[in-house]
Every structure is written in structure tokens, then in C-alpha cells.
Amino acid sequence: MELALQQGAKVVWLPTLDAVNHARVFGSGGTYGFKAMTLTSRRKTEQPLFSVTDANGKLTGEAKEVIELVIAYDAILATGHISKEEILAATEFAFGAGAKRVVITHPELATPKLDLPTMVQLAKAGAYMEFCAVNLLPTFYCLSLQSLIEAIEAVTPERAILSSDGGQPFNPRPPEAIRIVVQSLHEKGVPLETIRKMCIENQKLLLGL
């Protein structure tokens, strides 16, 4: 990871498909429970799973080291597919250590399926909520357009990001996926200035562009 940061990597994700929480939600690591979204592996041993907290719910030393490196290189810490409890532990440590760029990865997905008060709590602490277009489409459907609008209003557009999270063979291509959601938001009355902030300006701010 540090080699990547030294070469200019901008984002570090905490465990995703290999997270203990991902396996708990979807039945196993490396899968979403159906063939098109299951990773194949030639490993002879079982794929390891990772948690950022220990049996007592405390952040592990390894997780702290990763977060400290992200801060040292002024990169973005993204929460991946860890649980709500892990997110709260990781963000508390990160902000306490001086983190300026923290993104809560698709808070609406089953991993971590954050409730609105928790999203607001994290946004007030300084985190950005990354809402994903594919999670409004049939295969990954996690929330309605109205629920997305309510979440954006609750955390405020200043702390919201819209991304596609696309690329799956059964979904529209990423630009089209996000276009569908952006146009739908605008048809429902979300101003273009707000959409631009969530699709362009906040990302530029996070990336230092």
C-alpha cells in the first residue's frame, strides 16, 4: 500500500469483498451471492477475511497503521465493505489523528446499510457519503430515488458524492448509469448546481484538483 501511495495513489479502501462483514452479509467473501458477481480464484487455501476491529470492538493495530499512512500521504480513506461498528471505530480514530479526507463507501448498500442518523453523524464529523447509481438499479436495488433525495438533504450536498460504481455486465455503462440517476434527481427538483457539487466539485476538493 505504501508503495502505491508513494507513486501518487489518491484513495485507500478498507477491506471490500474480503471483509468479514461482506462475508456475513453476502454469505462468503468474493461474492454478492450470484454468478456474475463472484470472483474466481486459483488459491489452494481459503481466501482470508479481514476486520479492522478485534474481538472487543477496538480498532486493530494494523488498521491504525493503515489509517496513519493514508493521513501521512494526504490520501483519501474510504471505508469499503466494513460494518457500521467498524466504520465508527475507524472514522473516530481517523479524525482524531487529523484525517481531512474520509469517504463512507456506498452507505446505502447492504454493507454497511447505515441508517440516516448515522450518516448525518458521520457527515457532521467531516466524512463524505458516496451514494452509488447502481444501487438504485434493479440488480443491486438498495434505496428509492426519494430515499436518496432525503439522504442527500439530511447529510447536505456539501457532504454527498454521486458515483456510478458501475462496470458490471448486467448494468448500464458507468456514464449511462450515473446519467440515469442524475437526470432522475433533476426531474424531481434537485438543482443543477447541487448535482454539479455532488458529481464534480466535491470530488475535485477531495482529490486536490
Query: What does the block give as the cell for 149?
Result: 433525495
Gap between the Cα atoms of 63 and 90, Å rounded: 8
Q: For the stretch 66-75, what's the b/e string if a residue is b when 16 or more beta carbons lie within 10 angstroms of its beta carbon? A: bbeebbebeb
- Lowest mean pLDDT across 22-26, 34-38, 159-163: 34-38
CA angle 13/88/121 to nearest 5° reads 110
Asked if residues 109 and 132 have their Cβ atoms less than 8 Å apart, the reply is yes
Q: Encode pLDDT of 26-55 as tens digits.
A: 999 999 988 889 888 887 887 899 999 999
For 161, phi then psi, to 5°, come to -130, 140
How confident is the model at residue 46, as a pLDDT? Answer: 79
Residue predicted with more confidence, 1 or 125 = 125
Indicate the pTM of the whole model.
0.94
In this prediction, residue 15 carries a pLDDT of 97
**Residue 80 reports pLDDT greater than 90:** yes
Count of Cβ atoms closer than 10 Å to residue 103 Cβ: 22
Query: Who contacts 174 (Cβ-Cβ below 8 Å, separation ≥6)?
Result: 164, 165, 166, 167
Instruction: Identify the architecture of domain 2-207 in CATH.
Output: Alpha-Beta Barrel (3.20)
| Mean pLDDT (the chain, rounded) | 96
How is the chain split into domains, by residue range? 2-207
Residue given cell 447502481 in the structure block:
134
Residue 122: DSSP 8-state: H
pLDDT in tens, 169-209: 999 999 999 999 999 999 999 999 999 999 999 999 999 99
Neighbours of 99 (CB within 10 A): 22
pLDDT at 47: 81
Per-residue pLDDT reduced to its tens digit, 82-141: 999 999 999 999 999 999 999 999 999 999 999 999 999 999 999 999 999 999 999 999
Element (H, E) at 115: none
